[in-house]
Amino acid sequence: MPRPEVPIRTVGPVATFARRLRDLRDATGLTYKKMTITAGCAASTLAAAARGKAMPTWHLTEAYLNGCGLNDPAMIASWRRDWQAAHDAAQVFPSHPRLDANSMPDPHRIHTYSDLLTELQRLRAAAGNPPYRSFYYDTTKNGRVCPIPKSTLSDLFHGNHLTRYDIYTKIVAGLIRQVALLYGQPASVDSAPWSDKTAWYLAWGRVDASRRASRNVRDDVMWIAPDYPERAAQILWKLPAEQRNAILQDLTLEVATAVLRAATALGLHYQTPARSP
């Protein structure tokens, strides 16, 4: 059996093609040293072709195939087409460092809008940070495939407002497909939470409900705070610090001060909002 290789530490077309070369060698059970007999080049050169750091030339790829005992003209032609496709794709989607399990997105962690933004950014990073121009969605109008407006994508990924559910689901589904291409299709959603479309869709519902509730709470506090700062403080201190601070900042300075004094009298503590670096 061939000696286990160093794991591929990148994702992208180059890494995917390298994985295919490795799978081919694994199926033959050959070592790189034995492959040199028919490949006509050094073992280290063959190993570099499947390392996933750079796209091998077609000449080197063909030598690798020959080393694995593949010499059928039809199969070689098929590999040549796949090599060309990977080569062209690598010009558009360069390789990115492979994320570890802790860095992969998980829709089950989403409870607030801030959580959604964090996990969406992780999902896009896992998909190789595709440019906005590559986001498309199907439409029945004339049977065409239309690009999603850049402004819509910017709103979604930067938190300007919550994107419509139908567009959100199309974006998430597309990113999940791309991650599966880069990291491989998982055996189950339990082993790879990022692939759980249903969890992503349910997360949108939680965030939407949370934002609606937040707006109602904000309206209540804005209404009662001038006359009943103690009651306003009791309501605010049941909220997450980020949401509480946002509402306090919307109050006038005089009213916000009164609410903070009431909170202190009630034994509640104010947490200063973190500033962005």
pLDDT score for 270: 59
pLDDT score for 275: 41
pLDDT score for 273: 45
pLDDT score for 274: 45
Q: What is the mean pLDDT of residues 170-183?
A: 88
Residue in 32, 84, 37 with CA at minimum distance from that of residue 58 = 84
Q: What is the mean pLDDT of residues 6-19?
A: 87
Q: What is the mean pLDDT of residues 187-204?
A: 93
Q: Whole-angstrom Cα distance, residue 199 to residue 194?
A: 9
Select the more confidently predicted residue: 262 or 209: 262
Whats the size of the chain, residue-wise? 277
72 pLDDT exceeds 60?
yes
pLDDT score for 152: 85
pLDDT score for 215: 74
Structure letter (DSSP) for residue 97? E
Distance linking the first and last C-alpha atoms of the chain: 52
| Buried/exposed 176-211: b ≥16 CB within 10 Å, e otherwise | bebbbebbeeeeeeeebbbbbeebbeebbebbeebb
Cα dist. 93→11, 74, 88 in Å? 10, 28, 9
Q: Whole-angstrom Cα distance, residue 112 to residue 183?
A: 27
102 pLDDT exceeds 90?
no
Q: Whole-angstrom Cα distance, residue 38 to residue 42?
A: 11
pTM for the model: 0.60
Q: What digits encode the pLDDT tens for the residues 222-241?
A: 888 898 899 889 888 888 78
Q: Whole-angstrom Cα distance, residue 110 to residue 98?
A: 23
Sign of CA dihedral 185, 190, 196, 198: positive
DSSP-based three-state secondary structure for 138:
strand
Residue in 221, 176, 220, 214 with CA at minimum distance from that of residue 197 = 176
Does domain 10-97 match CATH 1.10.260? Answer: yes
In this structure, which amino acid lies at residue 10?
T
Mean pLDDT is lowest, of 42-51, 56-65, 180-189, 198-207, for: 180-189
Question: Locate tokens 């081919």: which residue?
Answer: 24
251 pLDDT exceeds 80?
yes
pLDDT score for 3: 61
198 pLDDT exceeds 80?
yes
Q: How many CB atoms lie within 10 A of CB 63?
A: 21
Q: Whole-angstrom Cα distance, residue 175 to residue 180?
A: 9
